[in-house]
Structure 1
């Protein structure tokens, strides 16, 4: 498949035209309108420092149905200690900047360059990007963030300063979205970490079919009120 180059016009080639590695197109910008259009069409940006903006739509796609979240015995035991509290949108900027920090233990850099961080902070102020935070003793120890459109949550990144802190945030998010009748959590690309928590691979076409209708559904914006606390059980 060819690699498409975006122009200034606000559009994308069909996601099913992506290359075998999932790369669809290059260029464009990270404006809120373009980002939202991308997610509605099963596309997301992913690039590193000194690279142009790259847009992806992998096949297969990793997703998590909220009702299918798996909690290991060890994680359940940790949750039952009741030492963590979970909040929504209380510290979005702190969460995304924590996600952007290099993974020192794995000797990895980060794909969350400053341009990306600024763009998702804009989406947060517009009410589309949300964070789930894990706290212990009033200290932020883990969390995740993503984009909500209709009844789909497009997960972007997670971080942990303590073991299992991001997993706890994902459990809380899944429980929350299950109660709200959400269709799926998009996990984008496959990792053993997410597979162990109940995520499954589906074809890109199946994913596109689901979100085509899911993003059109009415969303209750009150579920992202920063004054609420999420339950882990």
Structure 2
């Protein structure tokens, strides 16, 4: 039996020390609480994120190691540049936040399961409406072919999920996000846990203690709060040129 701290429903800013997270399953820290904006922002600021399935209690995690992109090195590799060459896609920001989240929530396995349950969708939309959550969209004409979304806290961006309808759509969105974060002087893009896909694109794993030390400085610096829809979106030509 796993014994976990139960979060106080009346103290949304309080979380256990991430160093108390379990080694197995890696990073499981606490359960309960809610998905209010105050609690979610406190969680991301503390290196903690929610991850749970339909019918489960809210579970909170802080794995060790942590997987991140350094935005200065987030550029398309040669293979991706070839894949994107000739695509007539355009990139926007915060133009279709909820469709991107729902695209990410679409089941991707034979069991039809997803961790982005309806309560998480509603919580992310609330954060977006408050100016803390953002999306990058990739379009082919008026058709959404890929996207990525996440939460900004100070100068830290916590990536949540990405999706593709056309091959390369999520990668284009990721590279566009990296370009935008460099413009906003945000050096770190958190991807929570490693997988072969993100590692192939340049993500690296760092110890949780190092991650927490880095984000402490980043969340202390005021970031942009509000819509990103007025920011200049990079073109595929810019992304493939590495600019």
Scaled to the shorter chain, the TM-score interval is over 0.9
Partner of 2:135: 131
Q: 2:195 aligns with which of 172, 191, 195?
A: 191
Query: Any unmatched runs of 5+ in structure 1?
Result: none
Tell me the distance in 1 between the aligned counterparts of 2:95 and 2:84.
Answer: 21
Deviations 1:59-114 (A, max 9, x none): 0000000111242323102333241111000000111011111115x555100110
Task: State yes or no: 1:44 paired with 2:45.
Answer: no
Q: 1:161 to 1:91 in 2, by over 3 A?
A: same
Tell me the distance in 1 between the aligned counterparts of 2:166 and 2:102.
Answer: 16
Partner of 2:219: 215
Describe how 1:1-233 pairs up with structure 2 within 5 A.
3-8=4-9, 9-10=11-12, 11-20=14-23, 21-104=26-109, 107-221=111-225, 224-226=228-230, 228-232=232-236, 233=238
Instruction: Find the residue that maps to 1:224 and give its secondary structure.
Output: coil
- TM-score for both structures, normalised by structure 1: 0.94
**C-alpha displacement of 1:227:** 6.1
Q: 1:222 to 1:112 in 2, by over 3 A?
A: closer
**C-alpha displacement of 1:231:** 3.5
**C-alpha displacement of 1:223:** 7.6
Query: Any unmatched runs of 5+ in structure 2?
Result: 239-243
**C-alpha displacement of 1:204:** 0.4
Deviations 1:169-201 (A, max 9, x none): 001111111222212000000101000111000
**C-alpha displacement of 1:150:** 1.1
Any conservation in 2 of the 1:15–1:24 contact (CA below 8 Å)?
yes
